[in-house]
Structure formats: C-alpha cells, structure tokens
Structure 1
Amino acid sequence: MYRVYIRTFDQKVLDMFHTTSSDAARERFAELVNSTEYDGQKIGVALTRDNKQIAFHRFDAEEGTRHNWRGRTDEINLPRPVGRPTTVGGVRKNISISPECWEIAKKLGNGNASAGVSRALKAFNND
C-alpha cells in the first residue's frame, strides 16, 4: 500500500492519500510537490510504501537539494511489486522437475521457467 501525505514539522498529517498503484502514488506525490501553497513553510510531503519512506519533499528546502523533489519526481525509484505475479488466463500448479530440466525451462523462457515449460509443451503439441 502506497501512502502520500502532507506532514507538518510537529508530525501532524494534513492530507492522506492511499493507493495500491505506483503510478497513482507518483502522480499524487508530484501534484503535491509542485503545489506552491506551502512554499517556505516547515511542511513536507511523504511518499511511502508499506510504511517505508521512499521520498520526502520539504517545502522549505532549497531547490536542487535532496529533500526538494520539485521538477524531478520522475527520478523516484518505486519498488517493484513483491510476491507471485498474477496469472492471466493460466492456472497455478505445483510440479516436480529435475534441476537439469529446470535450467532448460529457464533458458527456453528467457529466465522464466514457467514460460519455458509452456513453450516446450506448445512445441511438443505442434509436432
């Protein structure tokens, strides 16, 4: 869960935005950072994911310093999703496979063993 919020110097939260979308989080952070409403004040905007701070913009920070993100929010490195990817039109199955076959499957799938197994099965079925 991403959170984007405005925080005062005494830790009061003025505005909180929650989303599971990294794009929506970046967009909201950029929107708040580029606002001039709080310029010069001891107020900041935090961008977090799962309660870990990713970026913090201070409205009283000089332009070009690490806590001033105005004009460079595209530089923020948002973490990639963790866990298993969702399947699109597929089924999830556990299989037993030898280490040698696993390596072959990874090669066939360009690093993705599931894609390699699928590719091999399609090739087998077409013969």
Structure 2
Amino acid sequence: MSYRIYLQIPNGSAFERTETGSRSIAESVFRAFLERDELQNMEVSLHMMYQRTALAVHYFDAAPGTANNWQGRVEQIAWPQGGGKVGRPTELEGGARHNVYLDAVSIARARKLGQGNISEGIRIALSRV
C-alpha cells in the first residue's frame, strides 16, 4: 500500500488508520476526516503519507487559513508523480544510477520540484542552469 491516512494524538499514538494504493481513495478518506465536526479544536492531527513522506498534516486546533489547516485546501496537496505507482522507476535513455549526498533543505526543494520524486526534482533544477 502506498498511501496511509491516520489520526494521531499528541503522545504519538495513531488510530483510525486507512491504507490504500489509490490516490482517489486516499483523497476521499482525507476529506472525510477533515469534515468530522467532533475533531474540531481538539489536539488531534490528521496525517496523509505516501510511502514514508508526509503529503499533508492537518491539526484540528490550527486556525483556518494557516499552513497546518488543510480545510478548503486539499486541491493544493503535492501528489506524487505517476499517480502513486510503487516500484522501480522507469529507465531513462542514457541514464545511470548515482548516489548523491544532499542537505535537508536541498532534499525538500528537490522533492517539491519533482512533486515527491527527488531525482526528478534534481533533473528539473539542473535543466534551469
């Protein structure tokens, strides 16, 4: 399963977990959790993960319009490229595997540029030079 959506309390305990390989199911589950009135203003967070990367973390006690409040902003989620396919990436013509060592800021920038794919983000950044 590639997507995991769950609620979490401040001590780190997770509950009401859903795992799916479908982006559309993941999105609908995330939206359904956001609409739960009984969670509003509680110290509970809603997490949507793709593989081991957080796509969105919503805090039910966060003020509307802030970065930690996803109500009304689900369309802004940076979904992984390829519709959430799991497995080895496609081969690039003339491509070769190389290991690189990056700092956390560079990793975050590459992931954002590549819509969740660090290698693609690096290729995009290099094409701009």
Normalising to structure 2: TM-score of the pair?
0.62
RMSD of equivalent CA atoms: 2.0
Cross-structure match for 1:24: 25
| Contact map agreement 1:47 1:56 (CA 8 A) in 2 | yes
If asked which structure has higher relative contact order (CA below 8 Å, sep 6+), I would say 2
Report sequence identity in percent.
25
Q: How many Å apart are 1:71 and its aligned residue?
A: 1.4
Q: Which structure's CA Rg is the greater one? A: 1
Cross-structure match for 1:77: 78
Q: How many Å apart are 1:65 and its aligned residue?
A: 0.3
Q: Which amino acid aligns with 1:61?
A: A
CA distance in 1, matches of 2:75, 2:25: 13
CA distance in 2, matches of 1:10, 1:40: 17
* SS at structure 1 position matched to 2:38: coil
* SS at structure 1 position matched to 2:37: coil
Cross-structure match for 1:38: 39
CA distance in 1, matches of 2:60, 2:28: 18
Cross-structure match for 1:91: none
2:41 is equivalent to residue 47 of structure 1: no
| Contact map agreement 1:34 1:71 (CA 8 A) in 2 | no
Greater shift, 9-18 or 75-84, is seen at 75-84
Q: How many Å apart are 1:51 and its aligned residue?
A: 1.4
Cross-structure match for 1:95: none
Name structure 2 gaps, 5 residues minimum.
95-129
CA distance in 2, matches of 1:54, 1:7: 15
Cα deviations by residue, 1:72-94 (Å, 9 ceiling, x for unpaired): 1111121023524xxxxxxxxxx
Structure 1 segments, 4+ long, off by >4 Å, are none
Cross-structure match for 1:60: 61
* SS at structure 1 position matched to 2:81: coil
Name structure 1 gaps, 5 residues minimum.
85-98, 100-127
Cross-structure match for 1:89: none
| Contact map agreement 1:46 1:53 (CA 8 A) in 2 | yes
